[in-house]
Chains A and B, each alone.
Chain A
């Protein structure tokens, strides 16, 4: 009945209609079918409401034109309209029949239904006209004539929008119209209640004084009932279950229109990379998808074999291979689409082309907002896109669907659409839909407001950026190249290229690799795993770590979950290299054997004689190499030892040129302790005794951080003479940092050791020739 307004002008001309409308008494709508070419069609409807709405026609005409445009764009060519047989129309219709019609009531009906109608005009197909009883008697020629008349008339319609607007205004509800009541009901039962109200209406007839009942999908817990008085509502819902008569609220007049205004945004779908065909009239969209088809299961099904279904198994999405299907003796038909002329493969009613499944969906079942395809997904569609414009169109979709508010003040942007295309500038202010930008060019106003859809972030090669959303969120890198919306960046940590959307990155000077820690474990930690193997975390993924296993010479990377890690290994242990020199953390070593021969870099971790070396020239495993200490050689001075002891200064002038005379500067014997010679004797004694005289640092306990020299070793405790406090303390042996080895590899007898000189005053050695361990080592392997 909503249609009724639309065609009065015609009705006026068409006396026949008035005729049967009266007979009909029923408010329905019907459409004429149009000619086969699908060129134009006129909706035709009848109504008992008359003449005063004549102008409305214009409006309708326009909508018709719109329809055609849509249809043309969709390329469908064939279109049909089906009837909008809406429950609520019918229901209202029953009302109409029952109640004596009053003019304003009718209007009210009209208004509400009209809201739906406006949408329907665009989307809902009409049922092809079913000849009515009275119509059948009419002459076929008569019908033809009428169609002709109507059709020709529609071409000469003047569009007068203003008048239409005014008319529209007039349709808004007023205080004289019936009211809309909001009634609380059980959640999830909204539709059911509306339907039962309709049923009640049919059963009871005129007893029921409500005019309509509406359940709105997006509004839970409430239904709307249209009636003149609250009492009518109460009466209608009396005795019904799952409706709460205590909560009846009146919808303010102003808000009444909003109740039924439909969201038309979601229908803004056009042909695109994956949208093959849009049929706005039938509300269907043909979408190209990568199918998830288990060919084997399909073959089984076709052959009638019963195969128990694996639960929870989801076949992976992949391109359909027709040959594979044929191999499984699945019947493949080749079919040509009459409209587009493309040939499809048809299997079990499914259409395939280029490996994609072409599937029809209802518009409503598609979600178009905030869909964020990953780059890989886009790529798949793009590659197979038969036309070269794939890139552009998929990006336009992205831009349209991206979420709001990703521009920030100071962002560099470029205008991608409209008159100001290619204008660059900086974001000054961000508002709801528009962004104020400060243009780069001279001679333009200070700021320009531009819709955020027409803007794109702009980066230059060499910019340092951070990824703020998407797959590689959190990573930072430098821009290598920019291709429209895509930006290629080189990650700072992995030095790998990745492609990201310009929208997902911001300029930043920060350097991170994205997530760097999960729980207690951080990137580049050495960890002990469940199976007692160990490894170095080389990459942190969203919920797992990539661990370079501590297996020397054969790099093995394992993906390890958080729970598989036992603990972090902190130990600062020392190892010995090929020449029995001590290697400590941060020492630079060179690999002499194995597949990584020639690599060199600082030692990051040592565990069980295995070194983890970071060579920045090594690109695998983010530069980490795992080797046994025995196949390495320490290069240069030991930085950490030197720092710790302060006794490994290089006198470049004195020694680098004369490495042969490199001598060791032994640790000064503890004051009052045994002489140096005894000390060396002690060194030969055993592990524990070698400690005596060694410079150590206390790691734990009250004297933490103090340095000193070991005076005596007593079982598990040692007595240490502190450097700073002039006293000897006893600490657990495990409390001292175990750099015993620093002092042990004396290979030459020092001058002190010879005893040929008088002992020097403590801590003021006069000899410039103190050579660090490493220097002597470099020369010694010869």
Chain B
């Protein structure tokens, strides 16, 4: 049941209507039933669901264990076992020698379940959180709007919303419906159009590669293919998130934001505080911070701390990249993201050291610097995502043909192709004073209905026209 299907629309509207009067255990039970119905729509047979259910049950057993024995080793053991089982179920290449289950099984939602599960284990183990009851645990872990691709929500606010669902006044109701429709349009219209154009460039790139085209031609085609893929991924994923947040709101659950204008990021760290925010936060809290703490414990030198931060960032992003998929392609993505962010951090450390803090900060506020940095950041992220659309042998062939010159030219082209249009859009919006307008700023009833109806017509018109498959890219991770 894809979010963009008629079946999902019917499911959500009917379920929201039925859920309205329910409170307490009835509400929790109903949410669990909805979660099961939604998850089941992605699972071919009851047998295929067994490993997923066993994983979730093992997770609850781990919660009971860490609650009873608050010792660090119980928590560490639980985390290790859960991650190991996750790696085994996902068939990462380095466990290829370990026997696999003799039947096909479902992995849908497993990555996001792992994040929520580890959050619970670590927080309950730390004593910061009380172990939820099993029904609440199931309602949280499988919460259907966030089941496929997040946002990765924390348990405490969910627990609160379960008891006292967040209400909706007229403005919130309008904003919720608007957000759902905008998200739908981002996925099924904007994303699909971007993907079509991106596939054109990818096809031409392959043709140029086969035909032995010059390196500037290869660099140009690659630059646009890679840049468009980042735009497509944003439309696809942020659109899905908009829909997930809106659907969560219909059931009285406020899900966290996952995007904050990532194309306005001025450096890598800034980008990751704006893109897939809940994942970045999760990794920061549960991976980067403990890793840095561990490293600082080993290397007791104040001068080494910034460099340890650089190293911890690199490792974090390699792991983050590998989380995306159980193949070497994603390790390459992680390595490229890690290289980007660690070079960026190293550059900041070194320049601050050489120039001094104030002159460096003054430099980073110059418009030319901001826009060059913005362009380069987006270009490098696009480059790191290349394995998402070109398999590794293809990347090797591209590098062999285009060479270092082609690679540098592609980065420059991409940087300019991001920075210049964004600069023009931002300036134009500022001139037209559109940058201060948001959905909440539309007050007239007629204008609101016109906007909502316009979006519905757009979707009714464009979705069959584009024959959108509208799968969520992150659903596969």
Partners in one complex: no
Interface residues of A (CB under 8 A from B): none
